[in-house]
A and B are shown apart, each in its own frame.
Chain A
Amino acid sequence: MKISEIIEKCQLKKVVFDADHEIRNGYTGDLMSDVMANAQPESIWITIQAHKNSIAVALIKDIKAIIFTNNVSIHQEVIEKAKEEKINLFQSRKDSFTISGEIYSMMEGKTEKD
């Protein structure tokens, strides 16, 4: 599924939108080591951890986009770093549970083929 479809359906605010990647997986979590161990490549990550280290984790795991939920504030240096590393950043007022549920049900209804 394209990132743009997720932005539209979940009404996300674009913070950094570099490229409209194809997303195959998602992961929700606020513990860096947990995300490191379990997130899949080419995925979207849902978290409240809006700091520079989140960008580093996304880079290492080939996570294509991060959604910061609960309307957490994002520091300018995080945005700069994301631009530099080409990581897409989005923001939402909704909580992680709601966003995860929305994206999960969109993905369930859609497959790579067909």
Chain B
Amino acid sequence: MKIDFSKEKLTLVNELIYRIKIMETMTKELIYFQKNTTFREIQLKLKEKKISGVPILDTQKNIIGIVSTDDVITAFDKKYIDEDIDKYMTQEVITVPQNFSIVSALQKFEKYSIGRLPVTEFLHSKKIVGIITLSDILKKLLEVTQSIAGKIENEESKNSKISSDFIKNAPKKFFRFEGNGDDFNCAGKVASITKKYFIELGIDKEIVRRIAIICYEAEMNICIHSLGGIITIEIDDENNAIICARDNGPGIPDINLALTPGFTTASEKVRALGFGAGMGLPNIKNFADKFEIRSSLESGTQLKAIINLGVKNENK
């Protein structure tokens, strides 16, 4: 079977194959033989268990070979089916350590055109602790994606119940913060107050994090680049958080250039602190559902970011 690693279509699976470990996926109940076994005994076992190969282990469970259906067929053909396997078995066995991600197993399946891999205790060890097949991996992936889907569904229904009530009752006041240019110590305040407020409303953590990131970057921009400005945050009737940042100048001469990742006009002093890497505005744009920016050298910069709170209004 060919595995399609296509990035666009399988982002989740692509992430999972790097995250899930072989030890969570492999079969631990191992069927194996020792070297004083005949091919016929193995053939019967393969048939009984409907499997396509078995590892051959020594008494310490170290791997010394492998016998596959192909080897059994060859044994029939060459008429040594009733002989012991140790002369004929494949001795160069490809294995994979249990603490590697399943992507390592998938790569070996493809590279060596095999369908099963004995799993070792750790790298360079020969001790076998399980076996992993493509169907083990597919089963695990299905299991994990299903549980993720279940979790998302649960959270969505919880969200729409709890927080739409909360939001209805929440004071519709909006926050307003003033920031001075060059005031690094206050930066982060808007983001942390805003974050606490939305967490208390019961909004999904991931959405709150996006709001906080946008607030923080907007604050930093006011600190680093402007002569001072204000940030307001409010919730509209469609349950969107609207973050507006306005400053008193000096304005951005070329907005497209400012939105280019990596472009910066920050001073050396600011950059030494890990700011002004030309990622602020691109970050705001990426984390917002909608993003508008206007700037002129006369009126300064106005930025508006809209984030849906993931809360549905109840049906009338």
- Is A33 within 8 A of B280, CB to CB? yes
Check if A32 sits within 8 Å of B23, measured CB to CB: no
Mark B195-226 against chain A: 1 for CB-CB distance below 8 A, else 0: 10000000001000100110011001000000
When the two chains form their complex, are residues A33 and B283 in contact, meaning their CB atoms are under 8 A apart?
A: yes
CB distance from A18 to the nearest CB of B (A): 17
- B contact residues, range: 20 to 34
User: CB distance B188 to A56 under 8 Å?
Assistant: yes
Interface string of A33-52 (1 = CB under 8 A from B): 11011000100000101011
* 0 or 1 for each of B166-188: is its CB under 8 Å from A? (1 = yes): 00000000000000000011011
Among A23-39, those with CB < 8 Å from B are: 30-34, 36-37
Given known pairs A36-B213, A41-B205, the reply for A51 and B273 (CB within 8 Å) is yes
Does B209 contact A32, Cβ atoms closer than 8 Å?
no
**Among candidates B21, B209, B283, residue contacting A62 with C-beta atoms closer than 8 Å:** B209
Residue numbers in A under 8 Å from B195 (CB-CB): 59-60
Beta-carbon contact of A53 and B280 below 8 Å: no
Cβ proximity bits A56-98 to B, threshold 8 Å, 1 near / 0 not: 1101111000000000000000000000000000000000000
Q: Note all chain A residues with C-beta closer than 8 A to B274.
A: 30-32, 47, 49, 53-54
**Residues A53 and B24 in contact, CB atoms below 8 Å apart:** no
A114 within 8 A of B: yes
The reply to whether the CB of B258 lies closer than 8 angstroms to some CB of chain A is no
Determine whether B46 belongs to the interface, using a CB cutoff of 8 Å to chain A. Answer: no
- 1/0 per residue, CB under 8 A from A, across B40-58: the answer is 0000000000000000000
B125 CB-CB contact with A under 8 Å: no
Judge whether B192 is part of the interface by a CB distance below 8 angstroms.
yes
The answer to whether B279 and A60 have CB atoms under 8 Å apart is: no
Task: Using A49-B274, A59-B188 as known contacts, say yes or no to A36 and B205 having CB atoms under 8 A apart.
Answer: no
Contact assessment for A62 and B217 in the assembled complex, using a CB-CB cutoff below 8 Å: no
The smallest C-beta distance from B304 to any residue of chain A, in angstroms, reads 19
Indicate which residue in B23, B24, B209 contacts A61 across the interface (CB closer than 8 Å): B209
From B21, B216, B280, contact of A60 by CB (8 A): B216
Which residues of B lie under 8 Å from residue A53 when comparing CB positions? 184, 187-188, 273-275
- Is B191 a contact of A60 with CB atoms below 8 Å? yes
B217's partner among A30, A36, A54, A111 (CB-CB below 8 A) is A36
CB under 8 Å from chain A, chain B span 213-257: 213, 216-217, 220
| B213 contact from A37, A49, A52, Cβ within 8 A | A37
CA distance A111 to B23 in the complex (A): 9
Verify if B286 is at the interface (C-beta below 8 Å from A).
yes
Contacts of B220 in A (CB 8 A): 32
Give the Cβ gap from A70 to chain B, nearest Cβ, in Å.
Answer: 14
Q: Cβ of B21: which chain A residues have Cβ within 8 Å of it?
A: 111
Q: How far is the CB of B25 from chain A (nearest CB, A)?
A: 10
Does A9 make an interface contact (CB < 8 A)?
no
16 A-B residue pairs with CB within 8 Å: A36-B213, A36-B216, A37-B279, A41-B205, A47-B274, A49-B274, A51-B273, A53-B274, A55-B188, A60-B188, A60-B209, A60-B212, A61-B213, A108-B100, A109-B99, A111-B23
Q: Residues on B close to A: CB < 8 A? A: 21, 23-24, 99-100, 122, 184-185, 187-188, 191-192, 195, 205, 209, 212-213, 216-217, 220, 273-275, 277, 279-280, 283, 286-287
